[in-house]
Amino acid sequence: MLWQAGRMSESRASQRPAHLLAALLAGAGVLHFTRPKPFDALVPKELPGDRRTWTYASGVAELSVAAGIALPRTRRLGGLAAALLFVGVFPGNVKMALDYQRRGRPARDRAVAWLRLPLQWPLVSWALTVRDRA
C-alpha cells in the first residue's frame, strides 16, 4: 500500500508542470476578457476586422489550450498547441516592445516588454516538455 501511495504522489508531482502551464494559460485567457484593452494594442493593424474580436479569439484559444493541457487524455495535443500558440503570439510581443519604445513609455514598462521576449522560448520549451511527458 505504501508503494502505491508513493507512486500516486509521484504521478501527481509529474503532472505539476502541466497543471501549472494550464493555470498560466487559463489566467491569461481570462484576462483577455476581463482586461482586454492591453491585448487590443498587441493586434497588428494589418489583421482584418476589429482588434477586440482578435483579443477575444485569442482569449478563447488560450482557454481552450489550457483545457487541453489540464485533461490527461488531451495533454499531448494541448502541449503542442501551447507551443504553437507561444510562437504565434511572439510577433505581438515584439510589436508591444517596439510600440512602448516609440511612444516613450516609462522605462520600467519598456524594460518589461523587452525582457519578456526571450522568456517566450522557455514557455515553448515548457509546453513541448508537457507534450513529451503526456
Full 3-state SS string of the chain? CHHHHHHHHHHHHHHHHHHHHHHHHHHHHHHHHHCCHHHHCCCCCCCCCCHHHHHHHHHHHHHHHHHHHHCHHHHHHHHHHHHHHHHHHHHHHHHHHHHHHHCCCCHHHHHHHHHHHHHHHHHHHHHHHHHHHC
**15-60 residue pLDDT tens:** 999 999 999 999 999 999 999 998 998 888 888 999 999 999 999 9
pLDDT at 1 over 70: no
CA-wise closest residue to 80 among 117, 132, 29, 12:
132
In whole angstroms, give the CA distance from residue 16 to residue 39.
28
**50-99 residue pLDDT tens:** 999 999 999 999 999 999 999 999 999 999 999 999 999 999 899 999 99
In this predicted structure, what is the pLDDT of residue 12? 76
Please report, as a single letter, which amino acid is at residue 30. V
